[in-house]
Amino acid sequence: MNIHTFSRGSSVLLTALLIAACGGGGGSAGSVTPPPSAPAADGFVFPTNPKVAHGRFDRMGQPVVATVLLLTKDKDPFNGTDPNQDGDYAALMTERLQQLHTGLDDAIIAKGLAVCPTDVCLRQVIGKIIPDTLQLDLSQPDGFPNGRRFEDPTVDRILSMALLDLTTPGTCGSGPCTVFSFERLPNNPTRNESPFLAQFPYLAAAHPPP
């Protein structure tokens, strides 16, 4: 898991938060039998059995919805439902968001960033997390919140919407943010530590084991 954090202060707290919740959006995946596969000409192996033969044990539209905004006991039920049922979890996410503000607001304020009241935070982030889907408008430039590129610090951006008052001058450089000015957020890191590949599978090479 790539962990993105706020620079200018709350990085330690948010790193700890994400490490504690790490594991994608899932709870316990259980035992999964690998499906039959066939090697492709380029050496990659893809399943060949039909879609109905697969079982779901995780789903993720945005990277922090189940990971951060749901407690462990609620992750598996959430992953077992479809996005059109995500509104059923709004109250649980609101309660969790309030808990995060209680634990993090003092540290964020101490670093000169403005936190938002829970109702303001909900208005900023709700359209991006319920339903938990990846939204893409092909008529608009790509990049979060319109789709998600590998280089987008999406975790930072969702957490910024959930924790920071994006209307306060200074939160985004010299002036207030809007939901589409994520490039000005105090995110860290600003780029991947290794260059991405220009062709499939596009991700950078894995780090060697320690």
Amino acid letter for position 74: D
Is 60 exceeded by the pLDDT of residue 14? no
- For 41-45, 163-167, 169-173, 175-179, which range has the lowest pLDDT when averaged over its residues? 175-179
The answer to whether residues 57 and 79 touch, using CB atoms and an 8 Å cutoff, is yes
Confidence check: pLDDT of 167 > 80 = no
Please answer whether residues 24 and 67 qualify as being in contact, where contact means their C-beta atoms are separated by less than 8 angstroms.
yes
Q: Which of 170, 196, 199, 206 is nearest to 185 (CA)?
A: 170
pLDDT tens by residue, 113-138: 888 888 888 888 888 889 999 888 99
In this prediction the pTM is 0.65
Alpha-carbon distance 192 to 204, whole Å? 9
CA torsion 171→134→26→102, rounded to 10°? 20
Length of the chain: 210
